[in-house]
C-alpha cells in the first residue's frame, strides 16, 4: 500500500466497562504487524523536526527505520543511545505536544505515532531480554545522585555509561519517584518501572533506599565521603491546597497522598497490603492535569460511583494529555468546567459531606497566557461528595535544604539551576527536574538529568574547573500544573 494511504494505527485498549473494575494497563500496545505498518508512515525526513520536539533528542527516524526493516534489536539500540527509559516514555510522555506535534505528517493529517512505536520497541526488548550498552572504561570518579525518579535515573544511567561510579540515594523504600508513587498501575505498570530501574542498575549504578538527603545524610557528608559531584533530582514536594474552609475534613486528600496510598502502598490490595484508602460514593477531584486524571480514574476503580473533575477553566485549557482525558471520559468521569470550590462542608464527625462551588467565566489572559477565570457573583451551588482530592500541583520540598548552604533558590522555592547545564549556585552540585522547574513532565525531568550528566561528565574529565563555575540564572518556565 502506498505510504500516503496508511492511516495512523489505533492502539488496542481494554474495554472501558471492564477496565474500570481493574488496575491492569488500559492501553495494550501495538502488535508487531501494526507497529511495522505505522512505521511505514514515517517520511524519514532529512531534517527531522520530531527530534527537535524531544527533550532527550531520541534519533526518531533511525529507530523507526530499523523497526520497519524488522531490525528490532537495532531499533532499540538506536533508541537507547539517548533514552535509558523508553518503556516509560512510550507510555507517559505527552508526545502530542512534543515529537508528534512537530511531525510533518501532522500538518495535513495525523502525525506518526512515535510514542506508540517507542513503547512497542521497548516492550519487545523487555520480553526478549534487555541488551547492555557499551560502557566507557572506569574513570575512578564518584557521583552521588539524589532521588531515584526520572531525572535521577536518567542522570545516573548516563553517568555510568560515561564510566563514572554512581550511587543513587532514595528517600522512599522503592526506586522510581513519581513513576512508582504517582502514576497508577493502569497507566504505567510497576514491573515496567522495575525493569527500567534494573537496567540502570545493570550499568553498575548502586542504589541506597530509605535515605533522606538533608536528614539521614547531608551534602557535606556526601562530599566528605569522596563524591566529586552531586546531582539533585529530589522532585517536587509539599502538595498545594486551596486555603478554603473545610480543607482538613476527613475525606479530603492531596492527590499525592491519595496516589501514594494507592500506587506505592497498594491500597487497592487492602487488606492484603496494610495501607488503606477511603473512597466514598461520590468523589470530586479538583484540577485537570494528568495527576487529576490519575486520581479520578483510580477512584473509579476503587469503587466510587460518581467521579467528577472540577476545573476552574474551560475544556480548552485542560492541561492533561488528550489521551488521558479521552480515556477518563470513556470511563465515565464527569467534567465540571468553569467551576471552582469555595468551601468544603462536613458532618458533625469531621467527614466531608459536600462542596460549595462557584461558576467561573473566562476573562483576560493572565500571567500564564491563559484566560483568567473569574467567579460569577451569586452563582454558588452545592455538590454532594464524600471525597475531595486536591490535584493542584506541588511546591518544592524544603527538606534537602536544611543543610544545603550555598544553593540559591527562587521565590517559588525551586532551585536556581542553569537550564542548559543544570548547575546550581554551589559548585559541584547540579540539579534538575521538578526541584528546578516546579511540577512538570517525566520527559522534561529526564532531559534535565541528561544535560546535567553531560555537564558533570565534562567537569569530571577536566573540561572546566570550579574556578570556571558559572550559572546562567534564567528562571526555567514551569509547565502548567
Partner 1 sequence: MYEILYREDLAPVTKLIEVKAPLVARKARAGQFVVIRVNEKGERIPLTIADFDREKGTLTLIFQEVGKTTMMLGTKRAGDYLASVVGPLGHPSEIENYGTVVCVGGGVGIAPIFPIARELKHAGNKVISIIGARNKDLLFWEDRMRTVSDELVVTTDDGSYGRKALVTEPLKEMLSAGLKPARIWAIGPAIMMKFVSLTTQPFAAPTIVSLNSIMVDGTGMCGACRVSVGGQTRFVCVEGPEFDGHQVDWNLLLERQRIYVDEEKRALEHWKDHGCGCDDGC
CA distance 404 to 381: 47
- Using CB under 8 A, pick the residue from 52, 128, 191, 241 that binds partner 1: 241
Instruction: Find where cell 469531621 sits.
Output: 350
In this structure, are residues 459 and 229 in contact, taking their beta carbons and an 8 Å threshold? yes
Establish if 397 lies at the interface with partner 1 (CB under 8 A).
yes
Q: Which of 28, 73, 135, 209 binds partner 1 (CB under 8 A)?
A: 209
- The residue within the footprint of partner 1, chosen from 217, 279, 338, 445 (CB under 8 A), is 217
Closest CB 30 distance from partner 1, rounded Å: 34
Distances (CA, A) of 343 to 134, 211, 283, 346: 57, 38, 15, 10
Q: Which stretch binds partner 1 (CB under 8 A): 113-121, 243-251, 331-339, 470-478?
A: 243-251
Of 17, 110, 128, 250, the residue at the interface with partner 1 (CB under 8 A) is 250
- Measured from the CB atom, the residue of 41 and 261 that comes closer to partner 1 is 261
Instruction: Decide if residue 276 touches partner 1 (CB under 8 A).
Output: yes
Strand 381-384 to 252-254 pairing: unpaired
Nearer to partner 1, 44 or 347 (CB): 347
Stretch that binds partner 1, among 150-158, 167-175, 191-199, 435-443 (CB under 8 A): 167-175
* Cis, bond preceding 93 (omega within 30 deg of 0): no
Q: Does 450 bind partner 1 (CB under 8 A)?
A: no
Q: Is 263 an interacting residue with respect to partner 1 (CB under 8 A)?
A: no
Output the CA angle 155-156-158, nearest 5 degrees.
65
Q: x/- string (CB under 8 A) for partner 1, residues 342-361?
A: -------xx-----------
Residues 162/249, Cβ–Cβ less than 8 Å = no
Residues in contact with partner 1, counted by CB under 8 A, come to a total of 42
Pairing state between β 142-146 and 229-232: parallel
Q: How far is the CB of 314 from partner 1 (least distance, A)?
A: 28
CA-to-CA distance for 267 and 168, rounded, in angstroms? 27
Cell of 361: 467565566
Q: Name the one range near partner 1 by CB under 8 A: 165-173, 329-337, 377-385, 461-469.
A: 165-173
C-beta separation of 183 from 26 below 8 A = no
Residues whose CB is less than 8 angstroms from the CB of residue 76 and which lie 6 or more positions away in sequence, other chains included: 63, 86, 121, 122, 124, 125, 131
Question: Is 442:179 a contact under the CB 8 Å cutoff?
Answer: yes
Site for partner 1 contains 381 (CB under 8 A): no
Instruction: Write down the number of H helices and E strands in the chain.
Output: 18, 16
Q: Quick one: 65 or 211, whose CB is closer to partner 1?
A: 211
Measured distance CA(169)–CA(318) in Å, rounded: 35
Residue tagged 488496542 (cell numbers)? 12
Stretch that binds partner 1, among 104-112, 137-145, 152-160, 244-252 (CB under 8 A): 244-252
Residues 6+ apart with CB under 8 A from 353: 345, 346, 347, 384, 385, 386
The residue within the footprint of partner 1, chosen from 3, 21, 173, 315 (CB under 8 A), is 173
Q: In the structure grid, which three cell numbers stand for residue 375, read together?
A: 467567579
Task: From 30-38, 61-69, 168-176, 469-477, give the range in contact with partner 1 by CB under 8 A.
Answer: 168-176
Among 261, 313, 359, 423, binds partner 1 (CB under 8 A): 261
Cβ-Cβ contacts under 8 Å for 103 (sequence gap 6 or more): 49, 50, 111, 112, 114
| Binding flag, residue 65, partner 1 (CB under 8 A) | no
Binding region for partner 1 (CB under 8 A) out of 81-89, 185-193, 207-215, 369-377: 207-215
Q: Which is nearer to partner 1, 5 or 243 (CB)?
A: 243
- Whether residue 149 contacts residue 177, with contact meaning beta carbons closer than 8 Å, is answered with yes
Residues 151, 156: Cα–Cα separation, whole Å? 9
Nearer to partner 1, 111 or 239 (CB): 239
Tell me which stretch binds partner 1 (CB under 8 A): 247-255, 288-296, 361-369, 418-426.
Answer: 247-255
For position 247 contacting partner 1 by CB under 8 A, the verdict is: yes
Interface contacts to partner 1, rule CB under 8 A: 171-173, 181, 209-212, 215-217, 237-239, 241, 243, 247-248, 250-251, 253-254, 256-257, 260-261, 265-266, 270-276, 278, 349-350, 394, 397-399
Amino acid at each position: 500500500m502506498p505510504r500516503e494511504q496508511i492511516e495512523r494505527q489505533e492502539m488496542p485498549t481494554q474495554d472501558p466497562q471492564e477496565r474500570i473494575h481493574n488496575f491492569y494497563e488500559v492501553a495494550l500496545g501495538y502488535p508487531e504487524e501494526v507497529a511495522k505498518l505505522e512505521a511505514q508512515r514515517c517520511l524519514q525526513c532529512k531534517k527531522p523536526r520530531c527530534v527537535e520536539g524531544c527533550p532527550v533528542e531520541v534519533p526518531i527516524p533511525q529507530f523507526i527505520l530499523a523497526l520497519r526493516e524488522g531490525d528490532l534489536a537495532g531499533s532499540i539500540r538506536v533508541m537507547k543511545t539517548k533514552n535509558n527509559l523508553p518503556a516509560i516514555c512510550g507510555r507517559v510522555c505527552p508526545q502530542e505536544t512534543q515529537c508528534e506535534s512537530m511531525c510533518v505528517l501532522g500538518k495535513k493529517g495525523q502525525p506518526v505515532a512515535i510514542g506508540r512505536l517507542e513503547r512497542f520497541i521497548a516492550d519487545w526488548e523487555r520480553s526478549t531480554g534487555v541488551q547492555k550498552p557499551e560502557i566507557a572504561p572506569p574513570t575512578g570518579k564518584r557521583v552521588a545522585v539524589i532521588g531515584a525518579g526520572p531525572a535521577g535515573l536518567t542522570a545516573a544511567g548516563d553517568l555510568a555509561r560515561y564510566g563514572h561510579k554512581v550511587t543513587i540515594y532514595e528517600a522512599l523504600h522503592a526506586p522510581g519517584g513519581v513513576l512508582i508513587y504517582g502514576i497508577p498501575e493502569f497507566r504505567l505498570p510497576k514491573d515496567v518501572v522495575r525493569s527500567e530501574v534494573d537496567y540502570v542498575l545493570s550499568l553498575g549504578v548502586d542504589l541506597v533506599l530509605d535515605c533522606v538527603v538533608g536528614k539521614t545524610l547531608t551534602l557535606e557528608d556526601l562530599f566528605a565521603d569522596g563524591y566529586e559531584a552531586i546531582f539533585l533530582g529530589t522532585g517536587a514536594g509539599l502538595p498545594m491546597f486551596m486555603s478554603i474552609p473545610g480543607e482538613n475534613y476527613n475525606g479530603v486528600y492531596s492527590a499525592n497522598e491519595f496516589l501514594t496510598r494507592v500506587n506505592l502502598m497498594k491500597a487497592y490490595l487492602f487488606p492484603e497490603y496494610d495501607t488503606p484508602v477511603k473512597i466514598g460514593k461520590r468523589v470530586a477531584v479538583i484540577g485537570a492535569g494528568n495527576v487529576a486524571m490519575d486520581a479520578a480514574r483510580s477512584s473509579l476503580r476503587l469503587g466510587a460511583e460518581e467521579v467528577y473533575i472540577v476545573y476552574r477553566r474551560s475544556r480548552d485549557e485542560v492541561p492533561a494529555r488528550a489521551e488521558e482525558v479521552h480515556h477518563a471520559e470513556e470511563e465515565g468521569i464527569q467534567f465540571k468546567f468553569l467551576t471552582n470550590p469555595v468551601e468544603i462542608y462536613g458532618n458533625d464527625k469531621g467527614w466531608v459531606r459536600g462542596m460549595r462551588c462557584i461558576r467561573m467565566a473566562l476573562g483576560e489572559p493572565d500571567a500564564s497566557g491563559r484566560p483568567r477565570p473569574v467567579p460569577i457573583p451569586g452563582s454558588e451551588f452545592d455538590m454532594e461528595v464524600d471525597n475531595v482530592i486536591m490535584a493542584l500541583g506541588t511546591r518544592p520540598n524544603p527538606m534537602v535544604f536544611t543543610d544545603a548552604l550555598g544553593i540559591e533558590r527562587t521565590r517559588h522555592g525551586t532551585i536556581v539551576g542553569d537550564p542548559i547545564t543544570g548547575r546550581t549556585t554551589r559548585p559541584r552540585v547540579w540539579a534538575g527536574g521538578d526541584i528546578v522547574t516546579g511540577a512538570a513532565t517525566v520527559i522534561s525531568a529526564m532531559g534535565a538529568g541528561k544535560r546535567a550528566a553531560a555537564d558533570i561528565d565534562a567537569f569530571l574529565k577536566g573540561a572546566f574547573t570550579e574556578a570556571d563555575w558559572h550559572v546562567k540564572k534564567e528562571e526555567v518556565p514551569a509547565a502548567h500544573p
